[in-house]
A and B are shown apart, each in its own frame.
Chain A
Amino acid sequence: MLNVGKIEEGFVLDHIQAGKSLTLYYNLGLDKKDCTVAMIMNAKSGKMGKKDILKVECDIDDLNMDILAVVDHNITVNVVKDGEIVEKKELVLPKEIHNVFKCKNPRCITSIEQGLPHIFVLADEKKEVYRCKYCEEKYSQRVKTVVQ
C-alpha cells in the first residue's frame, strides 16, 4: 500500500480516468509551475475499478480549472485549505479555451502562423463539442495535443 501525505493548500483531483493524469499534468501547465505535485496512477476505486489522483500543492487561484471539464467532467475537484477539504468544485464547460489544445487541421492558418493563439470555442454545449475558432475543426482525441 502506497501512502501519500495530506496537502495543506491546493487541490486534490480525484476520479481521473486511469492513465490520464500525466496528460492532465501538462494540460494544467503544472510542468511550468514551481509547486509540489503527487501523481497517483492506477489506484483502486470502488466506482471506477482503477483511477488516477493528482494532488497539487499551490495557491487556490493559481490554476485554470476550466480545462478539467473539457478533458473529463467526471473528475472530482476538492479544494484544500489548512489541510481540510473546504469545497468541492463543480466543473463547467468554458466558452473558450485558449492555448491549451493545438488545432491539428493541416489546412488551418494556425499551422503556418506560429504566433497565433490556439482558440477553441464551445460550439455545442449539450454534446460538449468544441471547434477551432479559425477553421472550425472539431476538437477530438486527434487534437488533444498540448500547446508547448
Chain B
Amino acid sequence: MRHLMSPLDFSVEELDALFDLANDIEKNPKKYEHACEGLKLATCFYEPSTRTRLSFEAAMLNLGGKVLGFSDANSSSAAKGESVSDTIRVISCYADICAMRHPKEGAPMVAASKSGIPVINAGDGGHQHPTQTLTDLLTIRSMKGRLGNFTIGLCGDLKFGRTVHSLINALMRYEGIHFVFISPEELKIPDYITEKLKEAGITYEEVISLEDVMPKLDLLYMTRVQRERFFNEEDYVRLKDFYILTVDKMEKAKEDMLVLHPLPRVNEIAVEVDDDPRAAYFKQAQYGVYVRMALILTLLEIEVA
C-alpha cells in the first residue's frame, strides 16, 4: 500500500504518469465519473482549510465516491486526547483512503505507519503540502508545456512558506531551471535550501525588488505572508504588504509569463490583475482537483479503461 507524504515520494517518471492521467481526466471527465463508486474518502482536518478540504472532496465526488470526515480538531476525538495512531486505525475501518491535515509536523507520517488505508498528507504544519506541489507542477506542465528550462521567480514569504520549499525541492529534479528568490531580508529563503541548490549546481539569485526582475521571469509564484506562522504579531503587520503585484508591474513582464499563487490571496495580488490572461491562479485551483483525482485513483490502484 502506498501513501503520499512528500512530493518526492514519486519519481519523475511516476509524476509524469500522474500528470498524464490528470490531463486525461481534464479532457474526458465523463470517463472517470464512476471510477470510485462505492468507495469513501475520509478528510481528517485537524486545522481549518476549506480550500484543500473542498478540493479533495470535489475530487472524490467527481470520481463517483463518497466523503466523510471532520474539519477541525475540536469536532474530532483529538479533543478528547486520542492519538493520531488510534484515530487512523479507526478511520481505516470506515473509509478506503484518507486525506489528513494536521498542525503538527509529521502527524500524517505517524498515521501512515499505523494505517490500513492509503494516507495523503494534506499539509502538516510548516513542513510539507505535497498535493499543493503536485498542483503547481501540473499547472506549469499543462500551461507551459514543459517542466524545466525556465526562470521562475518566487516572491513573498520564502522563509516559512512550505509551498515554496516543497516546489523548489520538486523542481530541482528538472533541468535548466533558474530560481529568482524575491523577499524582504526577514523572510529570506533558508540557507539549507540555497546550499542544496549550490551542491546540485542549480543557479539562483536573491533580490528584494520584484519590479526589477519582472522582465526576465517565465513564471512568477506569489505567496501570502501567513499570520499563523508568526509568533510575533508586530512582525506580521510590518511584512504582510511588502509585495503587491499590480497591473503596472505586469506591464514589465513577458507576454507569456504565468502568475501562480497557492491561494488564498490577501493583498499580494491586486484584483485588477485577475483579468490579465497571464493570471493562472484560478486555473491552478482547477488543476488542484484534477491532480487530486489522479492521485486518489493512483493510490487506490484503480485503472479506468
Tell me whether A and B are bound partners.
Answer: yes
Give A residues with C-beta under 8 Å from B. Answer: 105, 107-113, 115-116, 132-138
Residues from chain B with a CB closer than 8 A to the CB of A134 are: 105-107, 109-110
Centre residue among A105, A107, A109, A111 by max chain B CB count within 10 A: A109
Give B residues with C-beta under 8 Å from A. Answer: 83-85, 102-107, 109-110, 124-127, 192
Taking the nearest CB of chain B, how far is it from the CB of A3, in angstroms?
48
Taking the nearest CB of chain B, how far is it from the CB of A14, in angstroms?
34
Residues from chain B with a CB closer than 8 A to the CB of A136 are: 105, 127
Centre residue among B84, B105, B127 by max chain A CB count within 10 A: B105
Residues from chain B with a CB closer than 8 A to the CB of A113 are: 83-85, 110
Residues from chain A with a CB closer than 8 A to the CB of B102 are: 109
Contact B125 A107 (CB under 8 A): yes
What's the Cα separation between A136 and B8 when bound, in Å? 14
A134-B109, A136-B127, A138-B192 given as contacts; is B83 within 8 A of A111 (CB)? no
Contact B192 A109 (CB under 8 A): no
Contact A135 B105 (CB under 8 A): yes
* Complex: chain B residue closest to A111, CB-CB: B104
Q: Which listed residue (A107, A111, A112) contacts B126, Cβ 8 A?
A: A107
Taking the nearest CB of chain B, how far is it from the CB of A106, in angstroms?
9
Q: Which listed residue (A107, A115, A133, A137) contacts B104, Cβ 8 A?
A: A107
What's the Cα separation between A110 and B106 when bound, in Å? 8
Provide a sorted-by-A list of 24 A–B residue pairs whose CB atoms are within 8 angstroms: A107-B103, A107-B127, A108-B104, A108-B105, A109-B84, A109-B102, A109-B104, A109-B105, A109-B124, A110-B106, A113-B83, A113-B84, A113-B110, A115-B85, A132-B106, A133-B109, A134-B105, A134-B106, A134-B107, A135-B106, A135-B124, A135-B127, A136-B105, A137-B105
Contact B104 A112 (CB under 8 A): yes
Given contact pairs A132-B106, A134-B109, A135-B125, a sample of 10 additional A-B residue pairs in the complex whose CB atoms are under 8 Å apart? A107-B126, A108-B104, A109-B104, A109-B109, A109-B110, A111-B104, A115-B85, A133-B106, A135-B127, A136-B105
